Each structure stands twice: as structure tokens, then as C-alpha cells.
Amino acid sequence: MGSVGYKYLGRKASAFRSDHCRHDEAVVVAKRVRSWIWITVLWIPVLPVGFRNRWLCDDCGEPTAATPRTRLGVKIAIAVFLAVAFLGSFAREPERRPMRKDVALEQDDTPLWFLRSVTGAMAIAAAVWSLRHRPIPTRAKLLEGFEPVAFESCPLCGGQIEGTGHMRYCAACSSEECFLPLA
């Protein structure tokens, strides 16, 4: 498990914008961060394969557009899997002819009943979780009533912001100010 994967390393910020964060469900400052993508083996970075720009929330550090919530399809799949596991636990093994009648009666069903109650309870919990699912709003929907916050100073270095309209940048670190929604 997790022997080969990838990791983002390095966080070079080059732009900022007023954004809506899915995790915080609030208007936040986001920074456009350029990170190297490294292939990892046993969590150790071994090979850089490229870089990627991401908009990360300055508050929670997560990508602002990524949804933290589980999709309905995934919830239903989990509920169905647990229900099948629950029902499967009632499937009878082929009758084994006991050598002696008194030995057959000693079979302990406790682990089986434990398995049944756990999978049954989890299946019900997953079903309730699916039924109580609130639709995940699209990014466009979230940005409909979006009110960007005007920056007076650079959130990256505190420098003064110059320029007008959609051509604004920090005079000190030359980071650019970006605006939502992006085309």
C-alpha cells in the first residue's frame, strides 16, 4: 500500500486572488503555487516528472476548487457493498456431515454473529449517509454570488499593489493579482 505515488514539493507562489474555498465554504485569499511533482517510492521522492500550478487556500492550504465531500455514487457503492457482505454472511456453508453427532453441536457462531451485526450496522449507516446526501454545488454555482475582496497590499509579501483593472501586480515581489471567474 502506497509504495509508489506522487508528491508535490516546493511551494513557489507567483500570484494571488480572492477566491471561494470549498473546504472553508468562505471567501478566502488563494495563492497560485508552483510545485514540482515527484514520483515517490515508499514515500521517498525519487524522480521529478514536471510541475503544476495550483490555487491553494491561504487559510487551510487545500486547493480551493477541490471538493472535500464524498460523492453520492461512492456512498451508494459503499452501502451496497456492506449490504452484500451482510447478506453474504447468511449464506450457509454446504452441510458437513459430522463424524460424531456431539461434535457438531460445539460449533461457535459468535464470530459470525459479530460479523453480521457489524456489517449490518455499517450498511444501515451508509444507507442513511446516502439518503442524507446534499447535492455538491458546482464551482460555477458557488461563484455566482461571489464578491471578491479588493487587496490593498500583497498577501504574499505585504508590498504595495499597483496597476488598474485586471492588470494589477505587487510592486515589491511582482506577483500578479488574478480575478475570478477564470475563463
Tell me whether residue 88 or residue 181 sits nearer to Zn ion (CB atom).
181
Nearest alpha-carbon partner for 57 in 27, 34, 87, 12: 27
Site residues for Zn ion, 3-32, by CB under 5 A, read 21, 23-24
Q: Which stretch binds Zn ion (CB under 5 A): 80-88, 115-123, 142-150, 153-161?
A: 153-161
Q: What is the C-alpha to C-alpha distance for residues 77 and 53, in angstroms, rounded to an integer?
A: 33
Q: What is the C-alpha to C-alpha distance for residues 51 and 179, in angstroms, rounded to an integer?
A: 23
Query: At its nearest, how many Å lie between Zn ion and the CB of residue 10?
Result: 18
Tell me whether residue 5 or residue 61 sits nearer to Zn ion (CB atom).
61
Query: At its nearest, how many Å lie between Zn ion and the CB of residue 24?
Result: 4
Q: Which stretch binds Zn ion (CB under 5 A): 57-65, 89-97, 105-113, 144-152?
A: 57-65
Other beta carbons less than 10 A from residue 79's beta carbon? 20
Tell me whether residue 59 or residue 122 sits nearer to Zn ion (CB atom).
59
Tell me whether residue 129 or residue 151 sits nearer to Zn ion (CB atom).
151
Phi, then psi, of 159 in degrees rounded to 5: -70, 170
- DSSP helix/strand/coil, 80: helix
Residue with cell 457462531: 109
- Among 59, 85, 116, 148, which residue interacts with Zn ion (rule: CB under 5 A)? 59
H helix intervals, 28-151: 72-88, 101-104, 110-131, 139-142
Verify binding: residue 58, Zn ion, rule CB under 5 A.
Answer: no
Q: What is the C-alpha to C-alpha distance for residues 71 and 182, in angstroms, rounded to an integer?
A: 25
- HSE, side-chain direction, 13 A CA sphere, residue 154: 21
Tell me whether residue 57 or residue 79 sits nearer to Zn ion (CB atom).
57
Per-residue x/- marks for Zn ion, 101-130, CB under 5 A?
Answer: ------------------------------
Cell numbers at residue 137, please? 454545488
* Residues of the shown chain interacting with Zn ion in the complex, contacts defined by CB under 5 A: 21, 23-24, 57, 59-60, 154, 156-157, 159, 170, 172-173, 175
